[in-house]
Amino acid sequence: MPRKSAVMRSVTLLAVTGVLIAGCSAAEPEADDGGTTVSDATLRVNFGQFPENWSPGQEMEGGPLRIPYETLLAPGEDGQPAPFLATDYELTADALTLTLREGVTFHDGEPFNAEAVKANVEFVRDGATAYAGPLQAVASVDVVDEYTVRLNLTGPTPSIANTLTTRVLPIASPAAIADGSIAQTPVGTSPWAYDEAGSVIGTRMLFSAFDDYWGDEPGFANVELYAIDEAESSAAALLAGEIDITDTEITTLPRFEGSNIESLQYPAIRNNLFFFDRGPGGTFESVELRQAVCYAIDVDQFVKVEGEGESATQHFVEGELGYNPDIEGYPTDLAQAQELYEAAGSPSVDVEMVAAPYNASQIEIYMTQAAEIGDFNVSVQTLPPPQYNGEWNSGKYPMGLSSNDELTPFEWYSAWFAADAPGNPSGVESAELADAAAAAIAAGDSEEAADLWAEVTKIISEEALTCAHQRGVETLAWNADAVAGVDAPNEPWEPKSVNYRELTPVS
């Protein structure tokens, strides 16, 4: 559950000079011609960095993505997908048929229709995108009529509707996709359209009110997105009134004591270690070697260093489909790790692994621990986030660590462990895992499906295809005198996110 807090410690105000170009006040109501009070306020939000690529399917944090883009379905309060750009859907074992909302226009004037959905699905599924995996279940896309589209499935895919509520498929203008401009200029259907004239390269991206928006006007007419990547600097900007809301680190919270700044934390990050080079002759072909590394890693040590988060035995949380209470994971046991290393033939391992600034310390801690098993050396190279996002799981490196936010076991399996999964560059999958997954997929949404998927996740654990599960939190801080309605985002397990539509200016 999110925790709001007014932290009762000393605070130091730091001046921020030359970092921001001030935007409009967070509360600037004005009257329209009919005399009704209409907000023309601008929300100034910071999420540390701008996306390197705004194309659908690329690795983008939920916060920036959901400013210009909308999805076909949205998470419902009951856990079931709710209408958004699609007003209704029907799921069978063979297809997902979507009835699309009429009267929706993209920011560039292009119409939203079945052809636009087809273009987006095929672009993400068939391209070199971070989220191609979940859409491999779509065999083909049929345009039934202007506002009806059918996704023909390779087999029963009970999670496909849920997939369409996530970052897998933000819907972008097909014209911008076709000419390639979408990579640098987001063009969606949201209430906020990218305003190049009002933006400052590398400093601020302005998203102005879109006059032809199909839905209700949000509380803030405009959104300014900033990229202050240092937590202390963003905290100082928040205290100085130069931004209204930011993601931050718990180390900055004492600075807000006695101020108008409030904060909350919500579960947002699930990351773990993957072994990619596990094909014939690969560094991690041996299951014993993979298990040895897993037993050597002490996630709790990292959690103590970080000061937040928790270790876990598996990807899924109790209550989620795919959770298996029988999975014990790999509790830290160096003696067991060394025995397994010997059983693997005591191989000499000297490989390279990449990190980003935000997970470099985690990876360094884990690899230092893993080195205790024997002649095991991993050199860690830190890359800029955009380069890291494109390379860590590409197959260039035998192992990698990053977040993976798949919400269902079908998506998780399809993204990382199936023989043809984008996150499985070795292309290797055991017969046991393939058979278990096939049985779970064939079960659809029957009563047997839960147990079958739990078996899939157990096999993934036993084969040590991944381990060192860690769950982290996102910390949001905001100016309570400027912004109301801040809460954990509706979309689960999305870092750097907030529900923009629920925010309102404080008059």
Query: Which CATH class, in words, describes the domain spanning 3-58+190-260+480-505?
Result: alpha beta
Angle at 325 between CA 320 and CA 328, to 5 degrees: 125
Instruction: Say how far apart CA 296 and CA 314 lie, in whole Å.
Output: 16
Residue 265 · residue 496 · CB < 8 Å: no
CATH level 2 (architecture), domain 73-181: Alpha-Beta Complex (3.90)
Structure-block tokens of residue 384: 């800029």
Name the segment(s) of the chain with CATH classification 3.90.76.10. 73-181
* Tens digits of pLDDT across the chain (507 residues): 333 333 222 222 223 333 333 333 443 434 344 333 346 899 999 998 899 899 999 988 899 999 999 999 999 987 789 999 999 999 998 999 999 999 999 999 999 999 999 999 999 999 878 788 889 889 999 999 999 999 999 888 888 999 999 999 999 999 999 999 999 999 999 999 999 999 998 899 999 999 999 999 999 999 999 999 899 999 999 999 999 999 999 999 999 999 999 999 999 999 999 999 999 999 999 999 999 999 999 999 999 998 889 999 999 999 999 999 999 999 999 999 999 999 999 999 999 999 998 899 999 999 999 999 999 999 999 998 878 888 999 999 999 999 988 889 988 998 899 998 889 999 999 999 999 999 998 888 888 999 999 999 999 999 999 999 999 999 999 999 999 999 999 998 988 999 999 999 997
pLDDT for 347: 97
State residue 422's pLDDT score: 85
Instruction: Enumerate residues 6+ apart whose C-beta is below 8 A from 212.
Output: 105
Would you state the pLDDT for residue 24? 38
Ranges for all domains in the chain classified under CATH 3.40.190.10: 3-58+190-260+480-505
Return phi, psi of residue 416, to 5°. -125, -25
Domain spanning 268-472: CATH 3.40.50.300: no
What is the Cβ-side half-sphere exposure of residue 487, based on CA atoms within 13 angstroms? 8
Say whether pTM exceeds 0.85: no
> Please, are residues 469 and 329 in contact by the beta-carbon 8 Å criterion?
yes
Element (H, E) at 116: helix 114-126
CA angle at 313 for the pair 312 and 317, rounded to the nearest 5°: 65
Q: What is the pLDDT of residue 157?
A: 87
Give span(s): CATH 3.10.105.10, the chain: 268-472
